[in-house]
Amino acid sequence: MIRVRNRQSGQEITLEGPKTVHQLLKELNLVEGAVLVMRDGELLTRDARLEREDFVELIPVISGG
């Protein structure tokens, strides 16, 4: 399972793997402009492949006010 943590909220979920970053965002109903995805301290492009044991972080980028 891929562990996915939202760095802003601290919320963590697990998802079936493997899959690409693009597939992960689609599954979570997130648009690419709203978030960055990191693994092991490195930013990932949308074609990056996530393996079953991976731990990834989602970094929301939209701020308001």
Partner 1 sequence: MKCRRCGKRAVIDIKAHHTAFCRDCFILYVHRQVRRAIAEYRMFSREDKILVCVSGGKDSLALWDILLSLGYECHGLHLDLGIDGYSERSRMKAVEFAQKRGCTLRVISMEEMGIPVPKLAKKSRRPECSVCGTVKRHFFNKAALEGGYKVVATGHNLDDEAARLLGNILHWQWEYLAKQRPVLPPVSDLLVRKVEPLCRLSERESAAYAILTGIDYILEECPMSKGATSIRYKHALNILEDSMPGAKMSFYTGFIKNLPRLSRAWEDLHGAIGEDSGGSFSRCSECGSASFTDPCNFCRLTIESGLRPR
Contact 19, 6 (CB under 8 A): no
50 CB burial (10 A radius; 0-12, 13-18, 19+)? buried
Q: Is 49 in the site for partner 1 (CB under 8 A)?
A: no
Q: Which of 14, 34, 52, 53 binds partner 1 (CB under 8 A)?
A: 34
Contact residues for 62 (Cβ-Cβ < 8 A; gap 6+): 34
The verdict on 28 binding partner 1 (CB under 8 A) reads no
> Shortest Cβ distance from residue 3 to partner 1 (Å)?
19
Residues near partner 1, by CB under 8 A: 7-8, 31-36, 38, 42-48, 59, 61-65
